[in-house]
Amino acid sequence: MLLTLFTLQSFAQEVSNRYDKIGKFNKGLAIVWKNGHCGIVTQAGVELVKPTYDKIGSFGNDAIAYTTRDGKIGMLNMEGKVIVPNIYESISGFKGYYAITKRNGLAGMINKQGKVLVENKYEKISIGKNGAIRAVLQGQEIMLDLKN
């Protein structure tokens, strides 16, 4: 009987020395910090998002995380792809399929893919319990009908 001895080589890579801090892994991803900015790595150590953001929130059940850069809000998906660039003053939580955005003090709407459904030109937008969308334009309340 011939016995062959194999040596196991470690294919692990040292990730911790590349970052100042590594957050807890959630859904296979962790937020990392380097020089005051944050990014995202996988459990395998692959850098999905370079540390260029001021803040990255946790990924929700919809696989979307909110990001902040230079005081502006955007969104990423779990593959590290930018869904919404950091151009908004605020993005509300999603109510169903839609979120309300604020840009230059005016309200608009996006969907979960980041598509602009309503341009930021309204003083206010609200989504009712039944999905009715009301907006205020030049002091007048109007109803919006989204055809997407």
pLDDT at 16: 65
The series of mean pLDDT values per 10 residues for the chain, 148 residues long, is: 41 66 92 96 94 95 94 96 97 91 97 95 91 91 82
pLDDT at 17: 77
DSSP state of 125: E
CATH class of the 18-86 domain in this structure? mainly beta
DSSP for 19-73, written as a single string: -SEE---BTTEEEEEETTEEEEEETT--EEEEEEESEEPPP-TTSEEEEEETTEE
pLDDT at 52: 97
pLDDT at 7: 38
pLDDT at 13: 47
pLDDT at 148: 52
pLDDT at 129: 80
Q: What three-state secondary structure class fits 132?
A: coil
Q: What is the rounded distance in angstroms from the CA atom of residue 73 to the CA atom of residue 84?
A: 8
pLDDT at 3: 44
pLDDT at 15: 59
All CATH 2.40.10 domain ranges of the chain, comma separated, are: 18-86
Pair 146, 117: CB distance under 8 Å = yes
